Amino acid sequence: MASAALLFPLLGAASPAGATDSVASPAAGGSTANSLQRAFAAAAAEYQVPQSVLLGVSYLQSRWDAHGGAPSVTGGYGPMHLTDARAALAAAPTHGADKEDARGDSARPARVRRTKLPSGQELPARLKTLPRAAELTGLGVAELRTDPAANIAGGAALLAAAQKQLGEPLSADPADWYGAVARFSGADDSATAATYANDVYDVLRTGAERTTDTGRPIALAAQPDLTPRTAQLRETGLRTASAAGTECPTTVSCEWIPAPYEQFGDNDYGNHDLGDRPAAPSIRYIVVHDTEGGWEGTLDLVQDPTYVSWNYSLRSTDGHVAQHVKAKDVSWHAGNWYVNAKSIGLEHEGFLAQPDAWYTEAMYRSSARLVKYLAARYGIPLDRQHILGHDTVPGPTTASVSGMHTDPGPYWDWRHYFELLDRPLTATARRGGGGLVTIRPDYNANQPVYTSCVAKGEPCAAHGSSAVRLYSDHDEKSALIKDIGQGSAPTTGVNDLSSRVSTGQQYAVADRWGDWTAIWYLGQKAWFRNPEEQPTAVPAAGQVITPRDGRDSVPVYGRACPEASAYPAGVPAQAVSPLPYTLPKGQKYVVGDKVPGEYYYAVTFATDSHRVVTGKDLYYEIQYGHRVAFVRAADVRLVPSQK
């Protein structure tokens, strides 16, 4: 923290010499239509920063989006993600399912998640770059937040000040700005800063173009032969952080901050279980969470032995990774012990219900690299039935269904995430064929109305979303689809998953009507708008299950438990208890895995009693509703989806 605090005061030095007087202030022209590319050019000229460097940094921060002046999950504003986090973090709402037992195992006392917002301690410098930009530019704080052109000018001023503090000239060659870009990251260690700078220069080499959230195109020309002066990193004075003990790819910055395995109280212990994965149990899932708190508070919680745990945390501002639990051990994060025992949990700094919540490109990229590394290491398929959101983990029992968490929520950009995973969500069948659909709306254009982000029943700010709403008929005035496991009528609440599907999920087509498509969902026919000119889903083909002949319906489970006869003496059998759902005849659901019933018995601090119980009964994992579920293989038939 001390070294981080030294970083941005350096950036707040006197205005850079040689600023061009002949170029009007970027803020003066405002941010009217078609002016964003011009704003980058003007700011680059005024502060003598190569325009490509300014564009590359902005791409890694926001992908050039302005977000209507609303803050990111860490209080970052505008295309340059200038941070002014104190008010944003202090006022951030949390999602309401804190009754969920993160361990998710009735054999042990519940260990309930809690949220922890930042205390009144001094914020690190990486969370207050906007006030520094105000000092450098003379522009007002409100203007820097809401006017994209002013925001870009602020970012250019920070880069130029960093360059001068490093004793480097305000060069026109982008190769000469590596050290300043590393400092712009806000990281307090050289490894994180270098990873950030490497990502920026990767964007510069490959180029980029996209249409921003204001509907305007912007482009950065590729410079494939660009070789930055990476030796400048030594001039930054950043601390050297050790990656010793971590299980991370070399392409991310990673440090080991262990979650404690300690015994305390009345034979209680925390905050995870030791194991021998992937030998026993195997690892089949990666679960994406958001933290519902800031970075420092999140690290405090995972180091509390009386709390719960997860394997990795990812920081929003620069994509830095901290590992807490080894992959061989079982962290308590998902609210379902079967999933915990077979998964790795990733917490991303963020708030589900923050209006207009958005995550940085730096964190998306680090997360995708980590997931690709873990998936390759443990043989985990890169699809939505193995790369789970916490919101798609099923309740293990009927009593737990309504208390399951709903993060990372509708604002996590799954389509972009899978592009970064090198598994873009594309059509795998011709239109009208294949029998399945993959949910894939245009994130920015898809803006369903959500409520209760700030106050119950009040509309949330309009924002792009990965989620698509489901109706009981091909009419938006018809009733929303009901989830009987929730025990209440469906709503448009940001935490209500009853009538929602998410990008990347696959479902069997049940019917079509004009611009509408129906899918099998929670045992019923559910409709969503899917117009040909702007589709919210693309055709797919694959394997599905349907009840065996002669069965009117089959039970659905939240975990794949062994049969009672599989348990050895001394290990209490877990009930094979169905959820309050069924899978009726004639309906089809997409298959993920075929797995044996399995239970990891680990209820004591000492590991000598730990056992992996594997049954003979087999299960299929299926995409049943918004969450995945399990059915016994003996109850269903596996068939191709094509009609």
Calpha distance 346→370 (Å, rounded):
9
Element (H, E) at 529: strand 524-529
Number of helices (H) and strands (E) in the chain: give both, helices first.
13, 28
Calpha distance 413→623 (Å, rounded):
19
pLDDT at 375: 98
Of the candidates 148, 151, 128, the one whose C-alpha atom is nearest the C-alpha of residue 139 is: 151
pLDDT at 69: 87
Structure tokens at 627: 């969450």
Confidence of residue 107 (pLDDT cuts 50, 70, 90): confident
Of the candidates 411, 368, 360, 370, the one whose C-alpha atom is nearest the C-alpha of residue 57 is: 360
pLDDT over threshold 90, residue 342: yes
Calpha distance 274→604 (Å, rounded):
10
2-84+128-236 matches 242-424 in fold: no
Calpha distance 341→552 (Å, rounded):
33
Confidence of residue 390 (pLDDT cuts 50, 70, 90): very high
pLDDT tens digits, one per residue of 563-618 = 999 999 999 999 999 999 999 999 999 999 999 999 999 999 999 999 999 999 99
pLDDT at 102: 82
Instruction: With beta carbons less than 8 A apart as the criterion, state whether 327 and 312 touch.
Output: no
Which segment, 61-70, 92-101, 138-147, is predicted with the most confidence on average? 138-147
Domain boundaries, the chain: 2-84+128-236, 242-424, 428-536, 547-640
Average pLDDT over residues 284-305: 93
pLDDT at 87: 54
pLDDT at 94: 47
The residue ranking higher by pLDDT, 479 or 431, is: 479
pLDDT at 613: 98
N-terminal to C-terminal alpha carbon distance within the chain: 60
pLDDT tens digits, one per residue of 239-268 = 998 999 999 999 999 999 999 999 987 778
Calpha distance 195→214 (Å, rounded):
29
pLDDT at 321: 98
Average pLDDT over residues 331-340: 97
Average pLDDT over residues 382-390: 98
pLDDT tens digits, one per residue of 268-293 = 899 999 999 999 899 999 999 999 88
The full DSSP string for 62-88 is HTT--GGG---TTSEETTTTEE-HHHH
* Phi, psi dihedrals of residue 112, rounded to the nearest 5°: -85, 140
Calpha distance 448→468 (Å, rounded):
7
pLDDT over threshold 90, residue 6: no
CA dihedral 334, 336, 341, 342 (to 10 degrees): -80
pLDDT over threshold 50, residue 21: no
pLDDT at 114: 57
Confidence of residue 353 (pLDDT cuts 50, 70, 90): confident
Average pLDDT over residues 505-525: 98
The full DSSP string for 404-459 is ---TT-TTS-HHHHHHHTT------S-TT-SSEEEE---TTT-----B-SSSTTPB
pLDDT at 118: 45
- Given 3-state DSSP classes, what are the helix, strand and coil percentages for the chain, each rounded to the nearest 5? 30, 20, 50
Calpha distance 548→348 (Å, rounded):
41
Which whole-number Å values give the CA distances from 491 to 402, 444, 453, 470, 494, in the listed order? Answer: 14, 22, 13, 11, 9
Average pLDDT over residues 108-119: 58
pLDDT at 265: 78
pLDDT at 359: 84
Average pLDDT over residues 175-199: 96
pLDDT over threshold 60, residue 480: yes
Calpha distance 425→539 (Å, rounded):
11
Percent of the chain exceeding pLDDT 90 equals: 79
Looking at the DSSP bridge assignments, the partners of residue 557 are: 630
Of the candidates 127, 142, 138, the one whose C-alpha atom is nearest the C-alpha of residue 25 is: 138
Calpha distance 617→634 (Å, rounded):
8
The CB density around residue 209, as the number of other CB atoms within 10 Å, is: 11
- Spell out where 530-602 has E strands: 537-540, 543-547, 553-555, 582-584, 589-601
The residue ranking higher by pLDDT, 85 or 286, is: 286
Confidence of residue 2 (pLDDT cuts 50, 70, 90): very low
Greatest Cα pair distance, the chain, in angstroms, is 84
pLDDT tens digits, one per residue of 126-184 = 889 999 999 999 999 999 999 999 999 999 999 999 999 999 999 999 999 999 999 99
Confidence of residue 216 (pLDDT cuts 50, 70, 90): confident
pLDDT over threshold 80, residue 10: no
- The rounded mean pLDDT for the chain is 90
Confidence of residue 112 (pLDDT cuts 50, 70, 90): low
Which whole-number Å values give the CA distances from 216 to 148, 211, 213, 518, in the listed order? Answer: 13, 5, 7, 33
The residue ranking higher by pLDDT, 296 or 542, is: 542
Q: Which CATH architecture best describes the domain 2-84+128-236?
A: Orthogonal Bundle (1.10)
What kind of fold does domain 242-424 have according to CATH? Lysozyme-like (3.40.80)
What single letter denotes the amino acid at residue 401? Answer: V
Using DSSP's 3-state secondary structure scheme, residue 112 falls into strand
Average pLDDT over residues 606-635: 97
Of the candidates 567, 561, 105, 621, the one whose C-alpha atom is nearest the C-alpha of residue 340 is: 105
